[in-house]
Structure 1
Amino acid sequence: MTGMEKSDKMPMYQYIMKDIKRRIEAGEFKAHDPLPTQIELARQYNTSEITSRRALSDLVQEGYVYRIRGKGSFVNEAGAPQRKPMRTVYLAYKNEAVAAFNHPFFTEMFQGIRDVCEENGIRFFLWGLNEEYKLPDDPDAGIILLTTNHVFDIQRLTGWKEEKRRMVTVHFFYPHLGIPYVIVDNLTGGYLATQHLISLGHRDIGLILPGESMVDVNQEFSLRLQGYRLALSQHQIPFNQERITVFPGEDFAETGYRGFKSLMSTEHPPTAVFASSDLKAIGAMNAAREMGIRIPEDVSLMGYDDLAMSAFANPALSTVNQNTRKLGERAAEILLFELRDEENGQIREEIVPTVIVRDSTAPLATDADAQR
C-alpha cells in the first residue's frame, strides 16, 4: 500500500485511481511509462484483481491511461481527462426477432458481455433500434452493435463513427469503416466441420446452405462455404458444385430436409453431409428416416451451432460450438479497455469455433463393412 491516506467511505477502486493520478502528477509515472499490471496493482494495494481492473478501466475512460493489447497499460501523453468514463454498455440491434435471442449464439454472447461488465461495475442492457436508428442519449455509453441482415443502413454506421461513438460490431463486420469488430471465425468453423468428416475417410461430402442461390448466401454462411472449399482443397479433393444445395426460407429445418433429400436422391449420393447449422441437420435427420437412410451407418451428418437439443437427437449430433461467450467477453473488453489502441491499427478479432464430436459422424464404411 502506498502512503496516501484512504477514507473508510472511499471504494478501493477509486482510491487506486486517485493514488495513480497523484503519482502521475508528481512525475513518478511519466508520459508513456508502463503502469503495473492489474495483478501487480492488486498485490500492491492488497485488493482483488477485479478491483484493480476496474481502476485501470476508469483511468482509461478518463484519459489518464491508454492500453495496448498484449503489452499493458501506459500513461497518456495528456495526463488529463478527455471523456467521461463509461458507465453503461448497450447491445443495440435492429430487425432482429427477439425470440431469436433464445438461440445459444445470443444467450452465450449476452452472458459473456454481462460477465465482463459486472466485473468492472458497468451496467449492461439490450437496446432495440427504431426506424430512425436512435441510439441511447448517453454519448459516453458503450455500444455493441449487432447487425444480422443486409437491410441495415450502413450510412448510420458512418454517422456514428463521425460522432465518435464508442462502438464495436459483433457477428457482421464492415472493414472499410474502420470500426472495431469481433466475429466468430465462420471460415475456420466451416473448415473444421469439413476436416472432421475428411478425417473419418469421407471424400464425397455434401453441403446444405440457406439462400436464393450460391451467389446470394449471407456473410456467415458464405464464410462457412469458403471453409468447406478450403478443407477439400487442402486434401486434393475436387470441388463439385453439384454437392452444394441452396434452398430459401426462414425455416432452417425445412431447408435441411429439402437439401438432404436433394443430395441423397442423386445417382451417386455423398457419404457425408455438412448441414451448416444444427436446425438444418435436424431437418436432414427427418428426411433420412423417411428415406430409410441410417445415420451414421449410411451417411455421416455434421451440424453447426451446438444447440442444446443436438445432444439429445437420435443419434446425438456432431456439431460446431461457436464459443460466443468468448465473443461477448472480447466485445466488452474492447469497449472498456482497448478503443484507444491505435498503435496496432483497427481492432479486430475472430473467435475460433470448436468441433463437438458425437454419434452422427463415423468412419467411412468400406465395401467389407457393407457386406456384413
Structure 2
Amino acid sequence: MATMKDIARLAGVSTSTVSHVINQTRFVSEEIATRVNAAAKTLNYTPSALARSLKMNRTKTLGMLVTTSMNPFFGEVVKGVERSCYHQGYNLILCNTEGDSERMRASIDTLLQKRVDGLMLMCTAAEGETLTEFERYPDIPVVVMDWGPTVAISDKILDNSYRGGYMATQYLIQKGHRDIGCVTGPLSQYQALSRYQGFQQALADAKLPENKAWVIESNFECEGGYAAFKQLLASGSLPTALFVGNDMMAMGMISAANELEIKIPEQLSLIGYDDIRIAQFMTPPLTTIHQPKYRLGKAAVEALLVKLQNPHSEPQIIQLEPTLVERQSVLDLQS
C-alpha cells in the first residue's frame, strides 16, 4: 500500500507538502498540487481513515444499538438514522441486542472501544436498569431513543406515548364506543405503561369504567396479539372496541379474528399504534396512532452532532408528538 513518502518521492516534494495537499491544511501552488495528486493517482493511494481519525480525535462514525425484532418499526427508525448519517458525512455501526441485557452491555463496550464519536441506544432494558459502562468514556455523547435504557447523562428522544394512548382511546369514545378494552405491551417497559395510562385517563375523563377482563398484557409481537385475542374470547365477552398497544399485536389480532370468523370492524373495532408501513395494507386497513419514526432517527443524529460541537451543553429531552391516522378498522356507532 502506497504511503505519503512514496508520493513525495515520485512527485519530488517533501512529505509535509504531500500531507498539506492531501488534507488541504495549507495553500500549495497549483503546479505542485497537480504533481502530488497525479503521483497519488498513479500509486493508487488511499488516505488512512484510522490515521486521520487519530490525528483529529474523530472517527466520523456513530454507533447504534437496537433491539432485534420482527417489528418493522425499528427498521423504519434505523432508516432515518442511516440517511441522516449519510447526509452529515458520518458512517454508522449498527448492533443488535436480541433483547438481551448482557449482549447489550457487551455491544456498548465494543462500540466504545472502537472509538465511535457518539452512541444511540434504542434497545429495551428492565425498568430502572442503569448502565454504568459510559462512566469509563465520559467524553462520548449518548442519545437514548424511544425504548432506550436508563443513562444518567444523555439526551433523550421520546414519543409522547401517554398522549398517543389517550388519543387512541378518545377516538374510540368519539365513535360511540363505551365497552372498550386494551391490549398492552410489557408494562415493565415505560412506553407500554404510558400508553396504558393514557387509555385509563381517557376512560376516566369520559366517566367510563375500566373492565379488567378486557385488559390484557402482551409482548408487542404478532404472536402476542394472536394469543391475546384468544384470551379475550375465553373471558366470555368481547368489548366493541380495543386499543392495541402497537400495530404488530393488532396484526396478530386481525389474524385470530379472521380464523374465528369474527368480523373487524363490524363485531370488534381495533386501533393500533406506530403506523408501520404495512398497517395500511392490512385487511381492513388499520386505524392507528402515527409515530414520526423517520424524524425520531433524524433527531437522534442531530442531537449527537450538537453534543459533539458543544460537549458541555445540558442534556435535553426532545418529545415527538403522535398523530391519528384514520383508516377502516374502527366502526362508527353513531352513524
Q: TM-score, normalising length from structure 1?
A: 0.64
Structure 2 unaligned regions, length at least 5: 1-20, 27-55, 98-102
Write the distance in 2 (CA, Å) between the matches of 1:113 and 1:126. Answer: 10
Q: Counterpart in 1 of 2:179?
A: 204
3-state secondary structure, aligned to 1:91: strand
Q: Counterpart in 1 of 2:270?
A: 301
Deviation at 1:268, TM superposition (A): 4.9
1:358 aligns with 2:327: yes
Specify which structure has the higher proportion of helix. Answer: 2
Write the distance in 2 (CA, Å) between the matches of 1:352 and 1:176. Answer: 23
Deviation at 1:149, TM superposition (A): 2.9
Deviation at 1:300, TM superposition (A): 0.8
Write the distance in 1 (CA, Å) between the matches of 2:96 and 2:233. Answer: 42
CA contact (8 A) 2:122 2:147 kept: yes
Matching of residues 8-47 of structure 1 within 5 Å? none
Matching of residues 1-372 of structure 1 within 5 Å? 84=57, 87-93=60-66, 96-97=67-68, 100=69, 103-127=71-95, 132=106, 133-139=109-115, 141-150=117-126, 154-160=130-136, 163-173=138-148, 177-211=152-186, 216-247=187-218, 252-266=221-235, 268-338=237-307, 340=310, 345-364=314-333
Deviation at 1:176, TM superposition (A): 7.0
Tell which structure's C-alpha radius of gyration is larger: 2
Count of aligned pairs between the two proteins: 277
Write the distance in 1 (CA, Å) between the matches of 2:78 and 2:180. Answer: 34
Deviation at 1:326, TM superposition (A): 0.6
What amino acid maps onto 2:202 in structure 1?
A: A
Q: Counterpart in 2 of 1:73?
A: none
Write the distance in 1 (CA, Å) between the matches of 2:269 and 2:282. Answer: 14
* Structure 1 residues 137 and 283, CA gap change in structure 2 (3 angstroms): closer
3-state secondary structure, aligned to 1:208: strand
Write the distance in 2 (CA, Å) between the matches of 1:107 and 1:258. Answer: 25
Q: Deviations over 1:215-248 (max 9, x none)?
A: x54222111101111222222223332321124x
Write the distance in 2 (CA, Å) between the matches of 1:291 and 1:233. Answer: 32
CA contact (8 A) 1:90 1:142 kept: yes
CA contact (8 A) 1:208 1:245 kept: yes
Write the distance in 2 (CA, Å) between the matches of 1:187 and 1:152. Answer: 18
What amino acid maps onto 1:87 in structure 2?
A: K
* Structure 1 residues 136 and 127, CA gap change in structure 2 (3 angstroms): farther
Structure 1 unaligned regions, length at least 5: 1-8, 16-82, 367-372
